[in-house]
Amino acid sequence: MTELQHQIEQAFDNKPAEYGEQHFSLFERFKTALNAGEIRAAEPDSSTPTGWRVNPWVKKGILLGFRLGNIVDMSIDASRQPFFDKSTYPVKQFSADSGVRIVPGGSSIRDGCYVARSVTCMPPMYINVGAYVGEGSMVDSHALVGSCAQIGSRCHLSAAAQIGGVLEPVGAMPVIIEDDVLVGGNCGVYEGTVVKRRAVLGSGTILNRSTPVYDLVKGLVHKATDDMPLIIPEGAVVVAGSRAITSGIGKEWGISLYTPVIVKYRDEKTEAKIQLEDLLR
């Protein structure tokens, strides 16, 4: 992919007065590789502190697609439900041979993302450009997989879970959900948070760079820094909690602030509770 990377960066960094046919051809080759999962906005890298490496050139290629595209009518029935979007990003094409379950009911998957075989999509859900969804995962009703978010294999994004997208700046880490993670209903994971494999996020848990996570098991506080995203440890079970304000008017008023809390690490009891997920696939 070295030559493709070079050409994408050249086209993005040196904007011509007018894009020609060679640029559209380049973008189609790029998008084909993106759809096939051959290139990713971020990929595993054991040599980094997070275990992941961002590929800024892939994000540049996605942004190049927005530059190249014109707004066109994508409506199936313009009189009843009109749709208008960039010509370079139509709805992703699937067939029965793709091995992806897309249950009827108003879901949408944008072209330029990877959705592996045996993924289940429950309506209505949305997967945005640049996203990666691994084998056997389920994207449940009203769930969002944002642009460039990376979802591992055998994950369950429960109803109304929101996995934030990070397309710009190009060097920023997107949200990472590793293999075998369960994201409960109405959870939100944002701002480049990394959720390590086999973690469980209880319903209503919100994770972002601004909110520390209190680990009651290990006696630690997990925080994002200028150089590192928030990282949820492998196998952690995280629930929505609160911590009291201990000074000033907040203390006088008895106010508490929301905070995620690690209450345990995954065990046999946890496994028994989530085992039924396999029956849905």
Q: Which residues contact 47 (CB under 8 A, 6 or more apart)?
A: none
Nearest Cα neighbor of 230 from 257, 264, 259, 195 is: 195
Contact 117, 135 (CB under 8 A): yes
C-alpha 205: how far from chain center: 16
Fold of 2-68: 1.10.166
Residue 25, burial from CB neighbour count under 10 angstroms (0-12, 13-18, 19+): exposed
pLDDT of residue 281: 55
Pairing between β-strand 220-222 and β-strand 213-215 as defined by DSSP bridges? antiparallel
Which segments of the chain belong to CATH 1.10.166.10? 2-68
Contact 42, 52 (CB under 8 A): yes
Nearest Cα neighbor of 281 from 118, 126, 123 is: 118
Contact 281, 155 (CB under 8 A): no
Which segments of the chain belong to CATH 2.160.10.10? 100-270
Q: What gap in Å lies between CA 25 and CA 68, rounded to an integer?
A: 11
**What is the crossing angle of helices 56-68 and 2-13, to 10°?**
50
CATH top-level class of 100-270: mainly beta
pLDDT of residue 58: 98
Going residue by residue through the chain (281 aa), what tens digit of pLDDT does each one get?
Answer: 689 999 999 999 999 989 999 999 999 999 999 999 999 999 999 999 999 999 999 999 999 999 999 999 998 888 888 999 999 999 999 999 999 999 999 999 999 999 999 999 999 999 999 999 999 999 999 999 999 999 999 999 999 999 998 998 999 999 999 999 999 999 999 999 999 999 999 999 999 999 999 999 999 999 999 999 999 999 999 999 999 999 999 999 999 999 999 999 998 776 666 665 555 55
Would you say the C-alpha torsion 180, 153, 100, 187 has a positive or negative sign?
positive
Maximum separation of any 2 CA atoms in the chain, in Å: 67
Nearest Cα neighbor of 195 from 262, 139, 259 is: 262
